[in-house]
Structure 1
Amino acid sequence: MDIFGGLLIIFPASFIACVSAQQNPPKIHEGWWAYKEVVQGSFVPVPSFWGLVNSAWNLCSVGKRQSPVNIETSHMIFDPYLASMKLNTGGQKVQLIHYNHELYTNYTEAAKSPNGLVIVSIFMKVAETSNSFLNRLLNRDIITRVTYKNDAYLLTGLNIEEIYPETSSFITYDGSMTIPPCFETATWILMNKPVYVTRMQMHSLRLLSQNQPSQIFLSMSDNVRPIQPLINRCIRTNINFSMQGKDCPNNRVHKLQYRVNGWLLN
């Protein structure tokens, strides 16, 4: 299966129920950290050191609900009370700040949501065509405006429903943010089907830099936190594996697994 990586969309916990506009996007945590070692003349902590170099980031090392995790059938529980998920914006268009490293919508600031963050992980698969949302987001004229770290560009008139795959089935677990300070305030929702991205769009993403122009070029790849232990968490799903349906046509439950951080090599 050629599914890899993923697109993360962060919403306040109340997003599905209501929409609230804001004037300013959430402020990204400005930290001194990196995903992998790069020769820059000074030490920059990689994920294994995040929780050691800053006491405010200690959850990155000692937390019990860290993300991302591998999701396997043996740890999955069918929850009949998990309703099918369907995004309904009532046709309302949104603004989106295309920020090098992050994507933000113009909804209520996620960090202020009383119930924590809801993070939707949407897997992407290479195909000949892409949906209209990604066509705008990853258009070469747009993507080149966010080539370097901290570059930003405002997109308007987006229909957020277009990014969602055609499925109401999902998997969910309690987790954390995947960057320092690794707060354990996130509920992850993994959709059960991919969206499609073209090879040219993937190539455009790889031409982005994780660094600023004055620094060594570091491609927008391998920019993921390593897998974290599940410990005693439950992974719930609204997919009833005892019933064969359109979301699992081969019914090979024992083979089902979601491996995070995969990167397409060709």
Structure 2
Amino acid sequence: MNLLICLLTLLPMIRANWDHWWTYDGISGPAYWGLINPAWTMCNKGRRQSPINIDTSFLVYDNTLSSVLVDKQPINGRITNTGQSLVYRVEEGQLAINITGGPLAYKYQFQEIYFHWGDSDKSGSEHTVNHNQFAAELQIYGFNAQLYSNLSVAKEFPGGVVALSVLIHIKDGFKKEKSGLEDIISHLSGVIYRGGSTKVGALSLASILPRTNEYITYEGSTTFPGCWETTTWIVYNRPIYISKHDLEQFQRLKQGDRLQEKAPLGNNLRPQQPLNSRGLRTNIALDSQKVEKSECLDPSTIMKYESSSWINKHSTLLN
């Protein structure tokens, strides 16, 4: 009887700390996310999971897809080493950064960025293109602000979440431009260990995004527990660049604290999930597909997409 009372006493505490019970490896890794917490069952049983490999032979051009619009005003937030990932979160009371257009039928409000990277300069992105992996990936999450009050609520409901995927490529010797990502990198020394958190002021989300209106979109899930299948993904068709030195600043981060550093924080990658019957739509128009929206496409003119030869050592992902 006393044991039962103890368990009942501890249950609310256990529920409140689920976010600390998962990792990217071992018995609390991705294969077990749906088992350690019944609320995360979609991680094991879902059919529309993320991340995925973008197989360009499956891409379908959709001439109704417009440009994705992101507000440009700067905001304040904090980056935090959670012990599983590096996460940027907007501070409360900020003027909303809205994400609209593209495949979105509602107005979404930016709330978080998750950063993913590996232990080399070629193995750090969760999404891939024809199985080509990138050095890193940042995932920008927003919630449906017209229906829900925040991301925690919205992720439970269909159409509640948008995620913008920005792939990152290493390129030394290029001319750096001032961007929000540079602002974040300059603060990484304050989040070396788990629990480390530091303020990043006047971040412009728009300045992080690649300079392109082209993207691929599909319906998927969050790539962290509980893998909610409520996410519209928008994967930009152009990476952004950082130097190898910049990547090394991410690779310095640790899963543990100062007394017990544990493993590096990187390699925080969920294994890729099957596409199943989902569609991969794009607004990337080949020459034969550049017709007015009112016109019908002649199926005989539709051509298949190909990935560039390792992005052609330049900036585009697809030809």
TM-score (norm 1): 0.73
Task: Return closer, same or farther for 1:28/1:252 CA change in 2, 3 Å cut-off.
Answer: farther
Q: Which letter maps to 2:23?
A: A
Structure 1 unaligned regions, length at least 5: 1-26, 38-43, 246-250, 259-266
For 2:181, what is the secondary structure of its paired residue? helix
Compute the displacement of 1:51 (Å).
1.3
Task: Return closer, same or farther for 1:253/1:206 CA change in 2, 3 Å cut-off.
Answer: same
Q: Does 1:103 align with 2:155?
A: no
Q: Which letter maps to 1:186?
A: T
2:61–2:285 contact (8 Å) kept in structure 1: yes
2:193–2:261 contact (8 Å) kept in structure 1: no
Compute the displacement of 1:257 (Å).
9.9
Percent identical residues: 30
- Which one scores higher on RCO, CA 8 angstroms, separation ≥ 6? 1
Structure 2 unaligned regions, length at least 5: 1-15, 97-108, 110-149, 291-302, 311-319
Compute the displacement of 1:88 (Å).
3.4
Corresponding residue for 1:123? 167
Compute the displacement of 1:242 (Å).
4.2
CA distance in 1, matches of 2:55, 2:309: 5
Compute the displacement of 1:87 (Å).
2.5
Alignment of 1:28-107 (within 5 A): 30-37=19-26, 44-89=27-72, 92-100=73-81, 101-106=86-91, 107=96
Task: Return closer, same or farther for 1:236/1:190 CA change in 2, 3 Å cut-off.
Answer: same
CA distance in 2, matches of 1:226, 1:63: 14
Between structures 1 and 2, the one with greater helix share: 2
CA distance in 2, matches of 1:35, 1:257: 31
Alignment of 1:129-168 (within 5 A): 129-132=175-178, 133-139=180-186, 142-168=187-213
Corresponding residue for 1:212? 257
CA distance in 2, matches of 1:230, 1:52: 22
2:61–2:282 contact (8 Å) kept in structure 1: yes
* Deviation string, structure 1 residues 200-258 (Cα, Å, up to 9, x no partner): 1101100001223343431132111000011111111111234499xxxxx98234699
Please list every run of at least 4 consecutive aligned residues from structure 1 whose deviation after the TM superposition is greater than 6 angstroms. Answer: none
CA distance in 1, matches of 2:37, 2:17: 17
1:29–1:180 contact (8 Å) kept in structure 2: no
CA distance in 2, matches of 1:34, 1:154: 25
CA distance in 1, matches of 2:60, 2:17: 34
Task: Return closer, same or farther for 1:98/1:34 CA change in 2, 3 Å cut-off.
Answer: same
CA RMSD for the aligned pairs?
2.7
1:97–1:153 contact (8 Å) kept in structure 2: yes
For 1:253, what is the secondary structure of its paired residue? coil
- Larger radius of gyration between Structure 1 and Structure 2: 2
For 1:254, what is the secondary structure of its paired residue? coil
1:71–1:257 contact (8 Å) kept in structure 2: no
